[in-house]
Structure 1
Amino acid sequence: MKFSIGGTLKLAFRPWVEGLENIPAEGPAILASNHLSFSDSFFLPAVLDRKVTFIAKAEYFTSPGVKGKLTAAFFKGVGQLPVDRSGARGAGDAAVRSGIEVIKRGELFGIYPEGTRSPDGRLYRGKTGGLARVALATGAPVIPIAMIDTEKIQPPGKVVPKLMRPGIRIGKPLDFSRYQGMDNDRFILRSVTDEVMYEIMKLSGQEYVDIYATVAKRQIAEAERAAKAAAKGEHKADAQGTAAEGTADKPAG
């Protein structure tokens, strides 16, 4: 199914790729990418000869009904791995366990250090709980990757994608094996994560924002709510003013 989907995507969208030679022909590696669109997890595997496994919410694999079964089949077919986000540390620990298992099998593990899609096309601070911990626990090389223009193909909330050419830039592998086994040192975790994000920024050309994307999403949502409340208040004030003017214009008696 992977080859069928990959062939269809390449034929329909014709993605361009730079740095494909940086993907090892064999052996484990961590593919660390920026995250602009839901479709990122499909375009990257489509241009690779090797299987790459990303993690996905377990809910995608357990939804009921025909739609749920089709969704589960689709995600399994493109190499997505279900992750149970319950528990004290939720998706972080689950991602690390899944990543280590994939690396131990000598395969490619794909992860988005930002933890969620960018809300505005900018690059946000990487989380240390997944990428760096897998890299330091396994010693596997980290390959920075930049997805280009995928947010224009399928913006959040849009079901039907726009036909245009996305791009993929693949950087040279980063070796953090000197830190192997130090996955409990938060300073090392932050240093490794920041180095990877810097390389992704250079590849993507995105503006970097030193806050988490989840925080940015919350700030954007709060600003939108405040704007709606202000607009509603202005509309109410205008309506009250119009009503008052109408009353004043009525003849006495």
Structure 2
Amino acid sequence: MCPVTVFEQDGCDLRVEWGLDGVHALGPHCAVLVVVDVLVFTTTVDVALGRGARVLPLPWRDERAAAMAEALGAVLTPPGLDESYGQPGWTLRPSSLTDLPAGTLLGIASPNGATLAAAAAETGTAVLAGCLRNASAVAAAASAIAEDRPVGVIAAGERWRPERTLRPSIEDYLGAGAIAAAVTGRSAPSSEATLAAVSYRAVRDRIPALLGGSISGRELIAAGVPEDVALATDVDVSTVVPVLDNGVFTS
């Protein structure tokens, strides 16, 4: 049995935390973890599954990734967002997948969302992929799976360069807040979950402008892919619930 401390937000039935350390802290103590990487991994997963495809999340810079993808017959996308700019075919970018054929299995490696999803699976909890597009649907599924046990929401965050340390990002905080605000049946949310939900409710009518003006949004727009930001800011347009099943996100 894992020891429980304040860092696990013990005693709370809805919890929000950041990054890989958050996965390790909350995973063993929650019935379900929702990984949120709005720009762009979990948005990409939503778009892909909405097309009838599946996604294999792969750890970042793990030499086993290509072998895992090959063993499952997955199409391996270029590793990471930077490597996806200007590339033809299917990539980590959600706008590259709008014509993805049903039945495709994509292997996607990324330093944030994909890595966290793979790590979350190792904690033994149920793992969902949430974003702004499917926030209400994912929240409803998380509530149903957890019943009276805790729900954890992980804001992936981005990475400072070159150190690659965690950079908290407003798009993931608002995505986590949208899901926290929609989770039902909770009587004792943590302070972290409460603030995330309140923050989202306060600005939910300004999501496109806020994300477009964020560091991550401006980076994508400057790279010539504003359509990725537009797809990510379509709140609750999707009923897809990506569930990690034997290492693969399926709807």
Instruction: Please indicate, yes or no, whether the TM-score normalized by the shorter chain is above 0.5.
Output: no
TM-score, normalised to structure 1, is 0.31
**Larger relative contact order, structure 1 or 2 (CA cutoff 8 Å, min sep 6):** 2
TM-score, normalised to structure 2, is 0.31
Higher helix share: 1
Q: Give 1 or 2 for the bigger CA radius of gyration.
A: 1
